[in-house]
């Protein structure tokens, strides 16, 4: 017999189970490498860091003594682009064997309570890439699109930037060559043929020796 799901702030003992769920979420996502590390021990360390951050929170949905879902969130204070606090949900996930049993709803209820207690005016969430079920679930609860993230591998970005600089350098060099040619043309035009008439007149005025 399954017991009811309890949602609470995660403790250190919960982190290995949540790390295992993170690894499971990674395998479901088409962008798993951008979601989390593959090493569960490293994931436990990352989760510990989140718990230690100001405003950091890990909510665990626990059933039969083990985590079956989680929410990773941070309360963000007012900053350059926001006048009020907000709650940023970095990830929400329910294990495959615990879905369609109200676990996600319970997690988001606890998330809403956390936002209200923190004075957050809005709750932002980034659905796991490729998880249409989570996107539909969030949309049903009122989450609307705000902005889209774009991602590029660091090496690709560096190569594209380097490629963009090559035409620019060639263009700059071509412009410099054009300016130099025009300067030479003006200088050559000013020098022109030598006028010998004044020299000849001076020569004829001289007395014969």
Could you read off the pLDDT tens digit of each residue along the chain, which spans 209 residues? 567 899 999 999 999 999 999 888 877 765 544 456 667 889 999 999 999 999 999 999 999 889 999 999 999 988 777 788 999 998 899 998 898 889 999 999 999 999 999 999 899 987 766 667 788 888 899 988 877 667 777 888 888 888 887 655 555 566 677 777 777 766 555 444 545 555 456 555 656 55
CB atoms within 10 A of CB 88: 17
Residue 46 to residues 42, 56, 152: CA-CA distances in angstroms? 6, 12, 23
Name residue 60's beta-bridge partners: 8, 70
Report the alpha-carbon distance of residue 57 to residue 87 in Å, rounded.
10
Total number of residues shown for the chain? 209
Q: Which two tokens stand for residue 110?
A: 């606890």
Contact 12, 48 (CB under 8 A): yes
């Amino acid at each position: 017999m399954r017991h009811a799901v309890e949602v609470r702030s995660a403790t250190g003992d919960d982190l290995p189970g949540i790390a295992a769920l993170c690894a499971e979420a990674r395998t479901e996502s088409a962008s798993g490498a951008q979601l989390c590390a593959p090493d569960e021990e490293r994931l436990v360390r990352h989760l510990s860091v989140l718990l230690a951050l100001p405003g950091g929170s890990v909510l665990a949905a626990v059933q039969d003594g083990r985590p079956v879902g989680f929410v990773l969130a941070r309360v963000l204070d007012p900053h350059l682009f926001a006048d009020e606090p907000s709650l940023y949900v970095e990830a929400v996930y329910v294990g495959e064997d615990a879905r369609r049993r109200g676990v996600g709803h319970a997690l988001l209820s606890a998330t809403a309570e956390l936002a209200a207690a923190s004075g957050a005016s809005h709750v932002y969430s980034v659905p796991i890439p490729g998880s249409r079920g989570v996107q539909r679930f969030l949309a049903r609860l009122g989450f609307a699109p705000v902005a889209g993230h774009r991602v590029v591998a660091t090496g690709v970005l560096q190569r594209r930037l380097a490629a963009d600089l090559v035409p620019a350098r060639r263009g700059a060099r071509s412009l410099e060559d054009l300016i130099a040619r025009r300067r030479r043309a003006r200088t050559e035009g000013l020098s022109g043929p030598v006028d010998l008439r004044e020299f000849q007149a001076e020569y004829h005025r001289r007395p014969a020796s």
